[in-house]
Amino acid sequence: MTPALILALLLALFVALVLATPQARAFIKLGFRMRQDEREDRRPGRAENPQLDAFHDAKGATNELRTELDERTWIDLDLDQVFSQVDYTLSRPGQQYLRHLLRTPCLHAEPIAQLNGAITQLESEPDTETTVRAALEFTDDRRAGFLATLFYGELPDRPRYWFVFPLLTASAIVFAALIFVWPRALLGLIAIATINICLQLFYRPRVEALIPAIHEIPAFFRTARMLGRLRTDLFTNERQTLAEGFTKLKVLQSATAWLKYEPSEDANQLFASMYLYVNMLLLLDLNAFVFGLKSAKQARPTLQRMFEAIGLIDVTQSISAWRKTLPLWSTPTFTTAQKEIRVTGVAHPLITNAVVNDVRISESSALITGSNMSGKTTFIRALGLNAIFAQSLGTVIATSWHAPLLHVSTSIGRSDSVLEGRSYYLAEVESIRTLIEQKGDGAQHLFLIDELFRGTNTTERVAGAYAVLEYLNRGNDIVVVATHDTELLGMLGSTYAPHHFREEIADGTLTFDFKLRDGQATTRNAIALLELMKYPAEVVARARDALR
């Protein structure tokens, strides 16, 4: 029997052995599915990252420079959807870093000014911008999202008998080579292959989240090397961090360098499947894990600094790319801590051809009235989103923005839960209590509220709303509240300036201009809507009689 025939039989036997176990078949299918997902997810502005918040969860608001948005505010302002609109990052570390910035707006103006300076300089150096984007794409693989887990998360210990893995790999290679001169080596190779497959199926699930990250370390260092060698005076600290880290971590690079030969997501399916079989035979993943894990543990502080340097560089080019898609934007001007906001031409980022509005809040808070669908809630969300953009991305969707550095907190939208057994009123009580508790944290707040306590009766709702709004307005904190309870204007007096939206009903049509105006709303549309929706004339007439 010729050596070639022996190898062919060996390959056939190995494939049959692999496919004989359901666990192995599942492993193969998982590999193909991950590759298919990666092929379908190669675009800027994407949000499909299984580890999207891994960096933020590990980092949090770790110093006094930043304030963390609570989960209610994130949901109220639709920030998951907004994130997908502003995300033009080209790497997974950059995507996670951008997410972190939006979740932790800055409370100091200097970092925002530095970010805007870097964006301006990057745009003035087209060659640098091109090199930056080319370098970042090396870490755009879906698996690079797991790097944050490897660099920041809790790591397992290496298995007690980790040294067996490279010995088994070496044995498999030796037996395969001996087949050409000693055919009986085939039996040894089959035995080693069986052991390796069992180890792969048994141990790999335990480190599933870390093996993808280990595979991306060569790409991570390739990005670091290219960015560290940029010929520019831009990103001085980041370039130095990356260049020093690349030089310092030679051991980790050597332990994982061979992984760069793994087929990419665009590789031929036959070649990719062969790699999966060879991976199982030679324990490539597990060897990468046991050799890379120790080096990664020892180098974590350096790897973390490199990760954040890549993230910041990517965010810089991402904001530049995002701005180019906007019909209107400007950089914010931050004022000293005072009870004043001056904004012109502000718009909501998720609305195409949005109507822009101006608002000035000075020495008081703002109470907005108006009919249903007139734009009150959208305006409140636009104000909150732009306050967050200003302090995280150095960009506002407005003609001008003059405001202090603010901690944004909201109570907007419905939050009743049948499954949790909570009434709408109880949910609102809990939400407003969170705002009250935040008042004492030392930051200046922008509280955004839509219809306080609408889950209870009118008398108690107005009384409760008055007490809460009076309390939240104390000091320099600014409250912007939308309500139908116009009684509150008389109760709150000059502490809340009135603003309103209005509508017009003409020729059986209800229209809105979505423009914010000073003063109290003077129109109502609830009963008019009944008529427009073809309610019986008797019902409409009785409603109007009751109103009178």
Reduce the secondary structure of 483-497 to three states and give it as a string: CCCCHHHHHHHHHEE
What is the C-alpha to C-alpha distance for residues 291 and 120, in angstroms, rounded to an integer?
42
- How much is the pLDDT for 357? 97
Residue 533: strand pairing partners = none
Q: What does the buried/exposed string (b/e) look like for 407-442 if buried means 16 or more CB atoms within 10 Å of the residue's CB?
A: bbbbbbeebeeeeeeeeebbbbbebbeebeebbeee
Contact 396, 330 (CB under 8 A): yes
In 3D space, the residue among 323, 131, 326, 321 whose CA is nearest the CA of residue 235 turns out to be: 131
Contact 461, 436 (CB under 8 A): no
Q: Is the pLDDT of residue 35 over 50?
A: no
Q: pLDDT, tens digit, for every residue of 10-33? A: 555 555 544 444 444 444 444 444
What is the C-alpha to C-alpha distance for residues 347 and 399, in angstroms, rounded to an integer?
9
In 3D space, the residue among 354, 348, 343, 350 whose CA is nearest the CA of residue 513 turns out to be: 354
Q: Is the pLDDT of residue 41 over 50?
A: no
- What element of type H or E holds 345? strand 340-346
Q: For residue 78, give Cα distances in angstroms to 2, 72, 155, 518.
A: 66, 10, 33, 27
Contact 478, 339 (CB under 8 A): yes
Torsion angle defined by CA atoms of residues 401, 402, 408 and 410, in that order, rounded to the nearest 10 degrees? -70
What tokens were used for 390? 């200003």
pLDDT band at 270 (very low <50, low <70, confident <90, very high): low
What is the C-alpha to C-alpha distance for residues 103 and 243, in angstroms, rounded to an integer?
29
Among 349-353, 373-377, 480-484, 515-519, the range scoring the smallest mean pLDDT is 373-377
Q: Which range, 250-254, 487-491, 544-548, has the best average confidence (pLDDT)?
A: 487-491
What tokens were used for 136? 């970042």
How many CB atoms within 10 Å of residue 336? 9
- How much is the pLDDT for 124? 97
What is the C-alpha to C-alpha distance for residues 456 and 462, in angstroms, rounded to an integer?
10
What tokens were used for 375? 């734009």
Using the structure block, give the residue that is written with the tokens 């709408």.
424
Q: Is the pLDDT of residue 520 over 50?
A: yes
Among 97-111, 162-176, 285-299, the range scoring the smallest mean pLDDT is 285-299
Q: pLDDT, tens digit, for every residue of 384-433? A: 999 999 999 999 999 999 999 999 999 997 654 444 445 777 888 888 99
Q: How many residues does the chain have?
A: 548
Residue 61: phi and psi, rounded to 5, are -90, 85
Using the structure block, give the residue that is written with the tokens 């793994």.
262
The average pLDDT across 264-271 equals: 60
What is the C-alpha to C-alpha distance for residues 65 and 287, in angstroms, rounded to an integer?
41
Residue 288: phi and psi, rounded to 5, are -60, -40
What tokens were used for 437? 């508790």
pLDDT band at 45 (very low <50, low <70, confident <90, very high): very low
Q: For residue 166, give Cα distances in angstroms to 170, 189, 289, 338.
A: 6, 15, 11, 65
- How much is the pLDDT for 28? 47
What is the C-alpha to C-alpha distance for residues 527 and 115, in angstroms, rounded to an integer?
51
What percentage of the chain carries pLDDT values higher than 70?
84
